[in-house]
Chains A and B, each alone.
Chain A
C-alpha cells in the first residue's frame, strides 16, 4: 500500500507542477494578495480632505481652526468665504468635511458660554465619517480644556495652579504604532490558505471526474482511501509551502515581527488545513464540473472569511452570527496567526484554538470521506 501511495503522490505532484501556468498561479497570487493587503488595507483616517469657513474672524476662531490645519489627521484644502460654496464642494466630492464657525463664536466663549461649531460630513463613507467625528471631538475637547485653564488663569491666577489636569497615556502592546498592516498581513495567510487549498483540492478531484480519469483510477487496485490521501496530501504540502512563502515575504518586506514559535504555527497550520482539505474534498463530492466546484468553494470561503474576524471584529456581530463563527476554522486560525506573529504566546494560551480546529478538521474529513466512498460506488 505504501508503494502505491508513493506512486499516487508522485503522479499528483507531477500533475500540479508540470504546467508553468499552474506554478505561476501558486506563487504569484499569494504574494500579490499579501502586497495588496499590506498596502491597501487600512482603517485609519489621515489627511482627511477638509474645508473651513470662518465667519467670526476672531482670534479664538483662528486658533481653533489652526488646530485642524496643523494636524496630520486633517488636510485643509479650501478656505471658504461664503456658505453657498459648501454645497458645491460636497457634491463634487472635493472634501469629506466642512468645518463652519458662525459669527459670535468668540463672544460666547468670552462670556463663559458654550460656542457651537458645525461639522458637515460626507456620510457616503460612514466608517471614515464616524472616525472623523471622534477626532474632531478630541480636538474640540482639548481646545476647551486649554481655553478654560487659560481663562481661569486670567480671572483667578492663584487658583489655576491647582486646576486638575488629567491625561491618558496610551500603551499599545505588541504593536506600538498600531499599524493596520501588522493586523492584516498575518491574517492574509489564513484567508489565502483557505481559498487556495479548498479550490485546489476540489478541482483536483473534480477535474479527474470531468475528464473521466477518476473512473480509470477506480478500476485499478488503488483503494478509495489511497485516492483520498493522494488527493489531499499534496495540497497540505502546497498549503505549508504557501505559509512559508507568505510568512517569510511578509516579515521581510513589511517587517512584521515574528515573536512566537514556528512549531506552534506549524501545528496550527496543519490542524487548520485538515479542515480546509475536508471541505475541499466534500465540495468535490457534490460537483461534477470544475466550474461548479469553484462556485461552491467560493460560496463557502466568502462567508468563512467574512465571519472569521479577518476584517471585521467577531465581537461586534449579532449573537446569531457569532454562534455560527464557531464552525469556522479560519476564526481560530487567525487567533493563532496573530498571536504567534505579534504576541509571541505559545500553546498554553492557544490550546483552545488548537482543540477547536482539530475537532472541526476531524469532523469535516470524516464527513468528506464517507461521502467520497458513496460517490465512488
Chain B
C-alpha cells in the first residue's frame, strides 16, 4: 500500500469536507445539542404528579392520609371530587396522573383492625409514569400505615416499636445517582454512529451516484488505498467530536472522569474504525444516497441508541432481542465509556469490549474491501 497515494486521496477528501461548511457546522454542533438535550431534558424521576382524590368518608383519618400525599414532593393534590366518573374523566384527559379513592368505612376498618384498601388509579397509557406513581403512592401509604400502627401500639401500651428494618443504601460509581452521569458519557457513542456511518455512507454513495467513484477506480489506486484515504478525514472528525463530547461532559456537566485519556482514545479509535467501515460498506452496496440514509439509520443510529445499553439496560430487554445486541458495536463502546468515566481503569473489564471491537474492526474492513472488489469486477 502506497502511503503517498493514500494521503493524496485523504487530502482531496479533507478539502471536500472543509468546503462543505454547512455539513461541517452541523457535525460540530450536533454533539453539543445532543448533550444539552440529554443532559437537561432527560429526567426519569418525576415529581409533582397531579392527584385527584375521592374521599368517601371525609374523616380526620382520611384527611390525614390526603395531607400526606399533599406534603410529599412526588405529588400535588389538585382536586377533590365527589364521584368515580369524575376521576375517570380526569385521567382520560390528563388532568391528573393518579386518582386516590378512600372507602367510606376507612376509619371504622382501621379501628377494628379489618383490612382497609385504598384504591390508586393511574393512567396506564404512560406506563412508566404510572409505575413510578404507584411506587410513590405505596411509599406514602406505608408511611401513613406505620404512623397509625405506632399510635395504636402506644395506646395499647405495647413496648415501643420502631420501623423494624431500615435500608442504608450506598452507591458505587455514581454516588448521587444522577441521570446525567450515566447518560452524558454515552452520547459520544451515538454521535459517532451518526457521523461515522451516516455521513460517510452518504458522501461515498454520492460519489457512486455522480460517477466520480468510477473515475477513482480507473486510477492506479488500489481498493485499500481508496478506502483508507476516504475514511481518514472522517476518522479525524469523529475523534475531534469525541474530544468535544468528553470536554463538555467533564467541564460543563461535571461528570466525573476517573480513567485515563489514553484508554479512552484507543477505545474511541477502535469504535471509530468499526463505525466507518460500516458506513463504507453500506455505501458500496446501496450506491444511492436515499437508500444509504435509510439503511444507515436502521443499521447504525437506531442500534447505537436503543440496543447498546445507552437508553435501555440490556439485562432488562426481552430475552429474544438480547443476542442481537452482541453485534451492535456501540454496546462495547458504551461499556468502555462508562468504565473510563465512572469507574476508573478497570482493565479487566475493558479487555473484553476492547477485544470485541478490535475483531469487529478487522472483520468489517475486510468485508468492505471485499464488497468493493466485487463491484469493481
Apart from A42-B316, A115-B164, A174-B124: 4 A-B pairs, beta carbons within 8 A: A112-B160, A165-B114, A289-B20, A315-B48
Q: Is the C-beta of A313 less than 8 angstroms from some C-beta in chain B?
A: yes
Shortest CB distance A205–B (Å):
12
Q: Given the complex, which residues of A lie within 8 Å of B37, measured CB to CB?
A: 302-303, 306-307
On whether A119 and B168 interact (CB within 8 A), knowing A168-B141, A171-B122, A338-B125, the answer reads: yes
Contact assessment for A44 and B131 in the assembled complex, using a CB-CB cutoff below 8 Å:
yes
Give Cα distance in the complex from A235 to B53, angstroms. 47
Interface, chain A (partner B; CB < 8 A): 19, 21-22, 24-26, 28-29, 32-33, 36-37, 39-49, 64, 90-93, 96, 109, 112-131, 133-134, 136-138, 140-141, 143-145, 147-148, 151-152, 155-156, 159-176, 178-180, 182-183, 195-196, 199-200, 203, 207, 287, 289-292, 294-296, 298-299, 302-303, 306-307, 311-313, 315-318, 321, 335, 338-339, 341-343, 345, 349
A sample of 19 inter-chain contacts (CB < 8 A) reads A21-B291, A26-B294, A49-B315, A113-B162, A116-B165, A121-B171, A124-B343, A127-B313, A129-B174, A141-B142, A145-B142, A164-B116, A164-B149, A166-B141, A167-B116, A173-B91, A173-B123, A175-B125, A183-B127
Give Cα distance in the complex from A43 to B93, angstroms. 24
Give Cα distance in the complex from A307 to B37, angstroms. 8
B297-329: contact bitstring with A at CB < 8 Å (1 yes, 0 no)?
110001100110001110111101100000000
The residue that B288 contacts in the complex, of A21, A126, A134, A160, with Cβ under 8 A, is: A21
Q: Given the complex, which residues of B lie within 8 Å of A147, measured CB to CB?
A: 164-165
Contact assessment for B126 and A125 in the assembled complex, using a CB-CB cutoff below 8 Å:
no
The residue that B93 contacts in the complex, of A115, A312, A345, with Cβ under 8 A, is: A345
A315 nearest CB neighbor, chain B only: B46
Contact assessment for B158 and A296 in the assembled complex, using a CB-CB cutoff below 8 Å:
no
On whether A93 and B349 interact (CB within 8 A), knowing A42-B316, A117-B166, the answer reads: yes
Q: Given the complex, which residues of A lie within 8 Å of B160, measured CB to CB?
A: 112
On whether A163 and B153 interact (CB within 8 A), knowing A151-B161, A290-B202, A302-B34, the answer reads: yes
Give Cα distance in the complex from A112 to B120, angstroms. 32
The dominant DSSP class at the A interface is: helix
Q: Given the complex, which residues of B lie within 8 Å of A302, measured CB to CB?
A: 30, 33-34, 37
Give Cα distance in the complex from A125 to B22, angstroms. 36
B335 nearest CB neighbor, chain A only: A93
Q: Given the complex, which residues of A lie within 8 Å of B126, measured CB to CB?
A: 183, 313, 338
Q: Given the complex, which residues of A lie within 8 Å of B307, measured CB to CB?
A: 36, 40
B314 nearest CB neighbor, chain A only: A40
The 3 closest A-B pairs by CB, nearest first: A175-B124, A123-B174, A25-B294
Choose among B37, B45, B148, B165 the residue with the greatest number of A CB atoms under 10 Å from its CB. B165
On whether A36 and B156 interact (CB within 8 A), knowing A130-B45, A168-B120, the answer reads: no
Give Cα distance in the complex from A201 to B125, angstroms. 32
Q: Given the complex, which residues of A lie within 8 Å of B38, measured CB to CB?
A: 306
Give Cα distance in the complex from A131 to B288, angstroms. 45
Give Cα distance in the complex from A113 to B129, angstroms. 35
B177 nearest CB neighbor, chain A only: A126
Q: Given the complex, which residues of B lie within 8 Å of A169, measured CB to CB?
A: 117-120
Give Cα distance in the complex from A372 to B151, angstroms. 74
Q: Is the C-beta of B41 less than 8 angstroms from some C-beta in chain A?
A: yes
Contact assessment for B198 and A183 in the assembled complex, using a CB-CB cutoff below 8 Å:
no
Give Cα distance in the complex from A137 to B166, angstroms. 8
Q: Is the C-beta of B214 less than 8 angstroms from some C-beta in chain A?
A: no
The residue that A36 contacts in the complex, of B23, B116, B137, B302, with Cβ under 8 A, is: B302
Contact assessment for A143 and B165 in the assembled complex, using a CB-CB cutoff below 8 Å:
yes
On whether A171 and B120 interact (CB within 8 A), knowing A163-B149, A166-B145, the answer reads: yes
Q: Given the complex, which residues of B lie within 8 Å of A143, measured CB to CB?
A: 164-165
